[in-house]
């Protein structure tokens, strides 16, 4: 008993108080909101659907972070720019001309597919180029070096595309077939949100099959396990790294198109905040883990959407939606303190940590 008491240190106590305080605040807020419930069931359903739609975008972008971290143990902070580059290019060169000629509304499905292909191809091109020029020469450098290079690459691409397409806001054209909402068991869901959620589910299942079933996927997993031994087994590590970057970027490009359908505003800085949020989602779920990043993204989106109404309003906090980022990043801090490996992450070995 005395032994256990001696093991309790000051920091541990503080962290316990911190954790308890947050849990009490969340429960208190939730109970107060539910007792006072100003919202109808439809409202709560709406909050959840908004959260899932936003969360599936985070999940798709988070895949890029988690895949690259899985094999290189580096945080690719330029990933948000891969996402921006694809949809920006597709909007300027495909979506706007197609909308002006009327092709978009006459043949919406082929038009959207072409946009998707252009967005994904551009994102992949940018990613492969960044990997080749900025990251590969630093493969054996200390781990802080590629991290800083990634931040530099992020700025480079932002201002490159700003120079290319301008610094204003470009509106993504409206697709007529996706206007309005459908009724599902008495509840209304926006068509764009249905598209975003369904497409994300397909892409995530596709990614999982690719990693788990295909030969290339096997090679990716082998390189993630141990680069040097994988190389000894005849795997071309550089090629696998390029494929990994390209896969993550393709999903980011697809996420860009889905984002454009949902929010219809494109500008050169649009990759920054989703990039940070997706990184948060990846850490939340367990960086390096594919299902973890998907779960992290969904949870983050849901908490951002439901959290302010559910936890904060009951506590009597005015303008609670201003604090939605606080909820997102508090979750990140809590996870980093109490489960550094993330929700689904495996405990980190000495070498990977």
Which residues does residue 314 pair with via DSSP β-bridges, in sequence order? Answer: none
Q: Which of residues 123-152 bind other proteins (CB under 8 A)?
A: none
Closer CB to other proteins, 18 or 156, in the complex: 156
Binding residue for other proteins, selected from 1, 11, 38, 183, defined by CB under 8 A: 38
CB of 306 to other proteins, least distance (A): 8
CB of 349 to other proteins, least distance (A): 37
Nearest to 280 by CA among 18, 75, 26: 75
188 binds other proteins (CB under 8 A): yes
Distance CA 313, CA 178 (A): 33
Distance CA 321, CA 210 (A): 38
Length of the chain in residues, anyone? 353
Binding residue for other proteins, selected from 121, 128, 147, 171, defined by CB under 8 A: 171
Binding residue for other proteins, selected from 43, 100, 177, 209, defined by CB under 8 A: 43
318 binds other proteins (CB under 8 A): yes
C-alpha 52: how far from chain center: 12
What's the 3-state SS for the chain?
Answer: CHHHHHHCCHHHHHHHHHHHHHHHHHHHHHHHHHHCCCCCHHHHHHHHHHHHHHHHHHHHHHHHHHHHHHHHCCCCCCHHHHHHHHHHHHHHHHHHHHHHHCHHHHCHHHHHHHHHHHHHHHHHHHHHHHHHHHHHHHCCCCCHHHHHHHHHHHHHHHHHHHHHHCCCCEECCCCHHHCCEEEECCEEEEHHHHHHHHHHHHHHHHHHHHHHHCHHHHHHHHHHHCHHHHHHCCCCHHHHHHHHHHHHHHHHHHHHHHHHHHHCEECCCCCHHHHHHHHHHHHHHCCCCHHHHHHHHHHHHHHHHHHHHHHHHHHCCCCHHHHHHHHHHHHHHHHHHHCCCCCCCCCCCCCCC
Binding residue for other proteins, selected from 26, 64, 249, 304, defined by CB under 8 A: 304
Closer CB to other proteins, 113 or 169, in the complex: 169
- The footprint of other proteins on this chain (CB under 8 A) covers a number of residues equal to 41
169 binds other proteins (CB under 8 A): yes
Binding residue for other proteins, selected from 263, 336, 338, 346, defined by CB under 8 A: 263
51 binds other proteins (CB under 8 A): yes
Binding residue for other proteins, selected from 132, 139, 264, 352, defined by CB under 8 A: 264
CA dihedral sign, ordered 37, 42, 46, 49: positive
CB of 53 to other proteins, least distance (A): 8
CB of 301 to other proteins, least distance (A): 8
Closer CB to other proteins, 20 or 43, in the complex: 43
Q: Do 230 and 219 contact (CB within 8 A), yes or no?
A: yes
Q: Which one of the spans 17-25, 70-78, 264-272, 335-343 is the region binding other proteins (CB under 8 A)?
A: 264-272
47 binds other proteins (CB under 8 A): yes
309 binds other proteins (CB under 8 A): yes
183 binds other proteins (CB under 8 A): no
Q: Which one of the spans 131-139, 288-296, 306-314, 344-352 is the region binding other proteins (CB under 8 A)?
A: 306-314
Q: Which one of the spans 62-70, 106-114, 148-156, 165-173 is the region binding other proteins (CB under 8 A)?
A: 165-173
Q: Which one of the spans 13-21, 35-43, 134-142, 247-255 is the region binding other proteins (CB under 8 A)?
A: 35-43
Closer CB to other proteins, 57 or 72, in the complex: 57
Residues that bind other proteins (CB under 8 A): 38-40, 42-43, 46-47, 50-51, 54, 162, 167-171, 174, 181, 188, 190, 259, 263-265, 267, 269, 272-273, 304-306, 308-309, 313, 318-322, 324-325
């Amino acid at each position: 008993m005395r032994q256990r008491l001696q093991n309790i240190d000051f920091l541990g106590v503080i962290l316990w108080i911190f954790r308890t305080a947050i849990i009490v605040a969340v429960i208190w807020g939730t109970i107060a909101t539910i007792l006072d419930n100003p919202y109808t069931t439809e409202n709560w359903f709406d909050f959840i659907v908004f959260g899932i739609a936003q969360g599936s975008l985070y999940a798709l972008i988070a895949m890029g972070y988690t895949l690259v971290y899985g094999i290189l143990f580096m945080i690719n902070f330029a990933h948000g720019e891969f996402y921006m580059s694809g949809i920006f290019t597709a909007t300027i060169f495909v979506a706007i001309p197609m909308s002006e000629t009327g092709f978009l509304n006459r043949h919406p499905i082929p038009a959207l597919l072409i946009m998707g292909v252009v967005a994904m191809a551009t994102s992949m091109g940018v990613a492969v180029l960044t990997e080749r020029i900025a990251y590969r020469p630093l493969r054996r450098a200390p781990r802080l070096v590629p991290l800083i290079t990634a931040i530099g690459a992020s700025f480079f691409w932002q201002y490159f595309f700003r120079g290319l397409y301008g610094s204003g806001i470009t509106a993504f054209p409206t697709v007529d077939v996706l206007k309005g909402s459908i009724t599902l068991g008495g509840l209304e869901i926006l068509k764009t949100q249905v598209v975003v959620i369904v497409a994300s589910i397909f892409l995530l299942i596709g990614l999982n099959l690719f990693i788990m079933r295909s030969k290339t996927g096997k090679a990716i997993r082998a390189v993630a396990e141990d680069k040097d031994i994988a190389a000894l087994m005849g795997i071309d590590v550089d090629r696998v790294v390029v494929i990994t970057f390209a896969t993550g970027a393709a999903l980011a490009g697809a996420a860009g198109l889905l984002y454009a359908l949902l929010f219809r505003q494109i500008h050169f800085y649009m990759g920054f905040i989703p990039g940070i949020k997706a990184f948060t989602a990846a850490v939340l779920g367990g960086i390096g883990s594919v299902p973890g990043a998907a779960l992290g993204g969904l949870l983050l989106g849901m908490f951002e959407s439901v959290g302010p109404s559910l936890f904060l309003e009951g506590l009597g906090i005015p303008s609670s939606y201003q604090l939605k980022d606080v909820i997102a990043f508090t979750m990140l801090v809590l996870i980093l303190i109490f489960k550094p490996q993330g929700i689904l992450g495996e405990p980190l070995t000495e070498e990977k940590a």
